[in-house]
């Protein structure tokens, strides 16, 4: 008697998407009615005031840049590498891109503070135009050059748009407390744009990925040109001009000699490292042991979780007890570290893994805008770009080490990499706890003076 083994492919229930996006919508619509910390009157301008042309232009341009970044990653490996490319060559090219971002990305952060964020945002578009056109006209573009260009563009995206928005907010005289609205909206719009970019990429490729693989690259080039025009014509920037000597003195005094900023930088680095580890390992972990999973259907779940997590920020800032930002960040980092610890210890079933990763991204959606708010409290806006890049560079260096040891030498397993990321998240929770204590000491000393 023959035995038939049923080969099933796991996929999430389609209703989960409706639940996620309905929850996001309800969270946004109901928050003003339950707020115990009323906002300023409608007559006051802010980055959250979508009736303001400047704020609308920024959010639309930022969303367009997010779509460009998402399209740049869609079908990226297939556009870079041919069928005869082995895994070692792919890992080496990724290591080169990571190294370039770690070294040159930090310089871009300092340069942006000196010459202005607008020029760096333009560079983001130029890099994507270069890669998009090259992918479209070349059968097999050089993987190293393309990877370096996209790595630098991705690094620029982590700080340039946020810093430009904050400095514009300051120049127009908007109230600092209203920045939180823009921060969580940026996280919300970015996640929604990533979902849209993946859907757009699938539409462009259709059912013939072999013949139409260059279509997303051509779309990236065209959208980058549009984004470039929006930045050049829509944003007016008056950067604070520094000499190199003046910038070094200010950066040393306000960044390098402030414990609070060091704690913030360590926290940001740990968060960035965990996010990078997730995007490298989530697919291999879920399909471990030969499990069949529709991976493409999980990406909207992760982005929807970030959207939902970001909508929690205004609730926390307008709740009855008004907890300090450091308090809920400690809890979010502890939850994220526990999630990574569970995955590192045991891969679990697919449903459990999906639930854990969903909770992790909801935590990231809460953490990212909260850290941006803390940067506004402790970091001068004229030094913000250099500070963020100095925070992210160690995460890229740690990721480079993981790629070399795990992907190239194969001496580091997936569980060990997840364990390192979990340790970093627990360390970030400790940094937030220390930041609360140090901040309290600074406030007490200021009152005594």
CATH code of the domain covering residue 225 = 1.20.1250
Instruction: Check if the beta carbon of residue 381 is closer than 8 Å to that of residue 117.
Output: no
One domain, residues 321 and 448: yes
Examine the fold and report which residue of 241, 272, 299 is the final residue of a domain before the chain moves on: 241
Q: Are residues 385 and 274 in the same domain?
A: yes
Q: What is the pTM of this model?
A: 0.89
Single out the residue of 175, 168, 171 nearest to residue 40, CA to CA.
Answer: 175
Closest CA to 155 of 371, 392, 318, 330: 392
Same domain for 449 and 317? yes
Dig out the tokens for 30 from the structure.
């109901």
Residue 396 CA to residue 250 CA, distance in Å, equals 25
- Is 209 a member of any domain? yes
Domain-embedded: residue 203: yes
Last residue of a domain, one of 179, 210, 241: 241
- β partners of residue 293: 10
> Same structural domain for residues 82 and 195?
yes
Output the domain CATH number for residue 397. Answer: 1.20.1250.20
Closest CA to 387 of 116, 113, 125: 113
- How many Cβ atoms sit within 10 Å of the Cβ of residue 240? 16
Q: Are strands 292-293 and 9-10 parallel, antiparallel or unpaired?
A: parallel
Give the residue from 218, 241, 264 where a domain finishes: 241
198 and 339 part of one domain: no
Domain annotation covers residue 42: no
Residue 43 inside a domain? The answer is no
With respect to residue 103, please indicate whether it lies within any of the assigned structural domains: yes
Q: What letter would DSSP give residue 43? A: T
Q: Does one domain contain both 309 and 201?
A: no
pLDDT tens digit at each of 449 positions of the chain: 333 334 567 888 888 889 999 999 998 888 777 765 544 433 333 334 444 555 677 889 999 999 998 887 766 555 555 545 566 777 788 888 888 888 888 888 888 888 888 889 999 999 999 988 887 777 666 677 888 888 899 999 999 999 988 888 877 766 666 777 889 999 999 999 999 998 888 888 776 666 677 788 888 999 999 999 999 887 777 666 667 788 888 888 889 889 999 999 999 999 999 999 999 888 888 887 777 788 888 999 999 999 999 999 988 887 665 678 889 999 999 999 999 999 998 767 888 899 999 999 999 999 999 999 999 989 988 899 999 999 999 999 999 999 888 877 788 888 899 999 999 999 999 999 999 888 777 666 656 65
Compute CA distances 5 → 10, 12, 75, 286, 366, whole Å: 15, 22, 33, 21, 43
Claim to verify: residue 227 and residue 334 sit in the same structural domain = no
Instruction: Let me know whether 265 and 367 are in one domain.
Output: yes
Q: Please report the pLDDT score of residue 6 as a whole number.
A: 42
For residue 270, the model assigns a pLDDT of 96
- Are 268 and 187 contained in the same domain? no
Q: Are residues 134 and 179 in the same domain?
A: yes
What local confidence, expressed as pLDDT, does residue 420 receive? 95
Note whether 244 and 369 are within 8 A (CB): no
The answer on 171 and 265 residing in a single domain is no
**Does residue 31 lie within any of the structural domains?**
no
Assess whether 212 and 229 both reside in one domain: yes
Ranges assigned E (strand) in 16-169: none
What residue numbers bound the domain in which 430 lies?
242-449
Number of independent structural domains in the chain:
2
At a CB cut-off of 8 Å and minimum separation 6, what does 49 contact?
55
Among the listed residues 230, 297, 256, 294, the one whose alpha carbon sits nearest the alpha carbon of residue 54: 230
CA–CA gap between residue 201 and residue 72 (Å, rounded): 9
Cα–Cα distance for residue pair 196/186, rounded to 1 Å? 15
Within a domain: residue 248?
yes
Q: Is residue 180 part of a domain?
A: yes
């Amino acid at each position: 008697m023959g035995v038939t083994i049923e080969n099933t492919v796991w996929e999430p229930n389609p209703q989960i998407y409706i639940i996620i996006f309905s929850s996001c919508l309800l969270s946004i619509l109901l928050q003003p009615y339950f707020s115990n910390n009323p906002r300023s009157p409608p007559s006051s301008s802010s980055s959250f005031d979508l009736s303001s042309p400047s704020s609308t232009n920024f959010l639309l341009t930022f969303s367009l840049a997010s779509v460009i970044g998402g399209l740049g990653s869609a079908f990226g490996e297939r556009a870079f590498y041919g069928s005869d490319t082995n895994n070692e060559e792919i890992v080496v090219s990724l290591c080169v891109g990571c190294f370039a971002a770690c070294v040159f990305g930090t310089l871009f952060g300092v340069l942006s503070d000196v010459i202005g964020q607008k020029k760096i945002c333009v560079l983001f578009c130029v890099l994507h135009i270069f890669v998009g056109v090259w992918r479209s006209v070349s059968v097999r573009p050089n993987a190293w050059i393309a990877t370096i260009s996209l790595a630098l563009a991705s690094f620029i995206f982590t700080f340039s748009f946020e810093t430009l928005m904050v400095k514009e907010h300051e120049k127009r005289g908007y109230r600092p407390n209203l920045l939180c609205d823009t921060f969580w909206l940026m996280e919300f719009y970015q996640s929604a744009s990533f979902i849209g970019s993946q859907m757009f990429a699938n539409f462009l490729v259709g059912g013939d990925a072999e013949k139409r693989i260059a279509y997303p690259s051509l779309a990236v080039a065209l959208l980058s040109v549009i984004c470039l025009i929006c930045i050049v014509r829509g944003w007016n920037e008056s950067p604070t001009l520094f000499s190199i000597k003046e910038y070094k003195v200010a950066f040393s005094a306000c960044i390098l000699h402030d414990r609070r900023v060091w704690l913030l930088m360590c926290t940001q680095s740990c968060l960035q490292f965990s996010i990078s580890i997730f995007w490298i390992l989530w697919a291999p972990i879920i399909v471990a042991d030969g499990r069949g999973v529709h991976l493409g259907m999980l990406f909207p779940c992760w982005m929807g979780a970030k959207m939902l997590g970001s909508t929690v920020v205004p609730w926390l800032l307008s709740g009855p007890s008004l907890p300090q930002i450091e308090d809920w960040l400690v809890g979010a980092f502890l939850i994220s570290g526990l999630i990574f610890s569970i995955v590192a210890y045991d891969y679990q079933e697919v449903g459990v893994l999906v639930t854990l990763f969903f909770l992790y991204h909801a935590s990231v959606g809460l953490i990212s805008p909260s850290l941006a708010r803390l940067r506004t409290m402790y970091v001068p806006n004229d030094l913000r770009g250099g500070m963020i890049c100095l925070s992210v560079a160690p995460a890229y260096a740690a990721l480079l080490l993981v790629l070399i040891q795990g992907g190239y030498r194969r001496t580091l397993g997936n569980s060990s990499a997840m364990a390192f990321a979990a340790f970093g998240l627990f360390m970030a929770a400790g940094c937030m706890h220390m930041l609360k204590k140090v901040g309290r000491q600074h406030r007490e000393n200021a009152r005594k003076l």
